[in-house]
Amino acid sequence: MRSLDLTIRLEWVVAAVAAIVFYKMTGVSWWLLALLILAPDLSMLGYLAGPRVGAASYNALHILIAPLVLALAGVLFGAPITTAVALIWIAHIAIDRALGYGLKLPTGFQDTHLGRIGSDRGAAG
């Protein structure tokens, strides 16, 4: 694995740890984290309709925009459950990136913005 790849993965590990630490600060039960940590992966069901729809549905739940906005709303409105859900979502995305899973290209699940999953560049797979 190249030094830059390792640095980028380490950065995402730190982001995942930060999201989990902030989750702890919300005071919400760890059961919610256990229940929802893999929920964004349900978006892979879009692949049943083909690679283009699959990529669109997967990417919709694996970009940081929505959970960051949700986290901000949770903080601004004093809604710890909302903040906690957003932090779980952010942790999921960060863990995926740390493992080498990127946003999907419409050519197939294996093709990501980080490169092909399972390639010799060290991506998970």
pLDDT per position as a tens digit, 35-91: 999 999 999 999 999 999 999 999 999 999 999 999 999 999 999 999 999 999 999
pLDDT recorded at residue 124 = 45
More confident residue, 70 or 116: 70
Strand arrangement, sheet containing 108-112:
104-105, 108-112, 115-116
pLDDT over 70, % of the chain: 93
Listed residue (31, 44, 9) closest to 85, CA to CA: 31
Provide the H-helix boundaries in 3-100.
Answer: 3-26, 30-36, 51-60, 65-76, 80-98
Q: How far is CA 69 from the centre of its chain?
A: 15
Give the pLDDT band of residue 119 (cuts 50, 70, 90).
low
**Cα–Cα distance for residue pair 65/82, rounded to 1 Å:** 15
pTM of the model: 0.89
Report whether pLDDT(27) > 90. Answer: yes
- Expressed in angstroms, the distance from the first to the final Cα of the chain is 14
Nearest CA among 15, 46, 37, 18 for reference residue 109: 46
> Given a cut of 80, is residue 116 above it in pLDDT?
no
pLDDT of residue 120: 52
**pLDDT confidence tier of residue 122, bands split at 50, 70 and 90:** very low
Name 74's bridge partners. Answer: none
